[in-house]
Chains A and B, each alone.
Chain A
Amino acid sequence: MNITVNGEKMDIPEGTSAAELIGVLGLSDKRVAVELNRVILQAGSFAGTVLGEGDTLEVLSFVGGG
């Protein structure tokens, strides 16, 4: 199944959740904001959000400091 993450094409297995994708990308789900098809996912919904063919995601992984 093909999706686009931060402008790059990615091939992932059917049924992959947003939480699983965050893991595949090597990121922490506590430090990211995820936009799926132009809408930011709500906190706590990553595991229950199953990705579909053609989905477009922007994943913002925060780093500390301020």
Chain B
Amino acid sequence: MYKIKINERFVEFPDAPKLMEVRAKFKPDADLVIHNGFPTPDNLLLADGDSVVLIRKGEKPPKDELEALITARHTPGVTEKVKSARVGIAGLGGLGSSVAIALARVGVGELVLADFDVVEPSNLNRQQYFVDQIGKPKVEAMDENLRRINPYVRNVLHRVVLDAKNIPEIFGGVDVLVEAFDTAEMKAVLTNAMAGSCPGVPVVVSSGVAGHGPSNTITTSKFSNNYYVVGDRVTEAAAGVGLMAPRVGVAAHHQANCVLRLLLGECGSESN
């Protein structure tokens, strides 16, 4: 028997089916046919274990299919692995808000989000909030935005000023922690607190994301066992050197991809 996953349901076929036969049988009006994460117009011969997602553009899918359709373009195997993961994000500013959105889109099962602040106008040049959210606590605003993107992610919210004592308490149980603070002092506090109390938790820290210097000077590198550093390690936010969406976003997505690679068990070399 050939077992094919069609819009998240397994269907068995006695002989290897062809892709367009599956479309004709299960959703003849589908105008998007995605085979193992990749859209194709070709009438491919399917193999046992293949995944097929059939989408009619503009149609709101039934609730029990939506989750599978959201992740239809994922590399096969990714969804299952990240769905059971819990990731912490310390700080929901320029880095943290973009990391949270990337990880919600990829379908991480649970996000533990901590920030004390409210959304204010100068955040909007780089942080993933909206004008009508000004004044709202960032944890609440981000929870709203994430649920609009992927309602299948659980968000655990902590509106709190983080410090050396509560960081290990809040984040001790996560699979990976993202440091997304603004100040150098807090970046150091988090690194030292987690290394002391939770040395088994991988941490992705950031340093050097300001300005509009070259994107390619931002790297992901290993600092210590379980510690990864994203940024150019040099360019500090200061009078005359601002923080803006493009370069902060490059760094945030380095962090998010490092998290994804850690969850998939693909990190570990010197450079990532």
Task: Return the CB mask of A34-49 against B: 1 if under 8 Å, else 0.
Answer: 0100111111000000
B120 to chain A, nearest CB (A): 15
**B223: contacting residue among A43, A60, A63, CB under 8 A:** A60
Interface residue ranges of A30-66 to B (CB < 8 Å): 30-33, 35, 38-43, 58, 60-66
Cβ–Cβ contact B184 & A62, under 8 A:
yes
Cβ–Cβ contact B95 & A66, under 8 A:
yes
Cβ–Cβ contact B191 & A40, under 8 A:
yes
A39 CA / B223 CA spacing, docked (Å): 11
Q: Which residues of B contact A60 (CB under 8 A)?
A: 191, 205, 207, 223, 229, 233
Interface residue ranges of B204-243 to A (CB < 8 Å): 205-210, 223-225, 227, 229, 231, 233-238, 243
Cβ–Cβ contact A66 & B96, under 8 A:
yes
Chain B CB count within 10 A is highest, among A32, A39, A58, A60, for: A60
| Residues of B in contact with A (beta carbons under 8 Å apart) | 91, 93-96, 164, 180-185, 187-189, 191-193, 195-196, 199, 205-210, 223-225, 227, 229, 231, 233-238, 243, 248
| Residues of A in contact with B (beta carbons under 8 Å apart) | 30-33, 35, 38-43, 58, 60-66
